[in-house]
Amino acid sequence: MKATHKTARTPKGWRKRAPKTPNERRALLARCGAKAFLDAKNLKFPVMAKIGPCVLDCEGVRAAKSRARQYHHAKVASKATRMGKRAACHWAA
């Protein structure tokens, strides 16, 4: 089965690949659609890298889950957990 997620880890981690600015996030939304965010309406919690193919990034999902829990977004955090398990990310057991 072909992998539908990215598992490569870099020294800088998700920080280097994450879409940070509003322009980067809008471009990601235009390129990959709503599946690139856990909260696409508000362009929050991106789970795909700003450059490269439109595939799920396990580091991005983990970062989104962590940030969602930090700010008490329980629904987003559980969505990230389910997404990580479905994609067989190494951290989602």
Q: Nearest to residue 85, comparing CAs of 62, 69, 52, 63?
A: 62
Which pLDDT does position 2 carry in this prediction?
Answer: 44
Which pLDDT does position 26 carry in this prediction?
Answer: 97
What are residue 25's DSSP bridge partners?
none
Which pLDDT does position 1 carry in this prediction?
Answer: 39
DSSP helix/strand/coil, 89? coil
Question: How does pLDDT run along the chain (93 residues), one tens digit per residue?
Answer: 344 666 555 556 889 999 999 999 999 999 999 999 999 999 999 999 999 999 999 999 999 999 999 999 999 999 999 999 999 998 887
* Whether 20 contacts 12, CB under 8 Å: no
Q: How far apart are CA 45 and CA 70, in angstroms?
A: 12
What are residue 44's DSSP bridge partners?
39
Structure tokens at 67: 């940030």
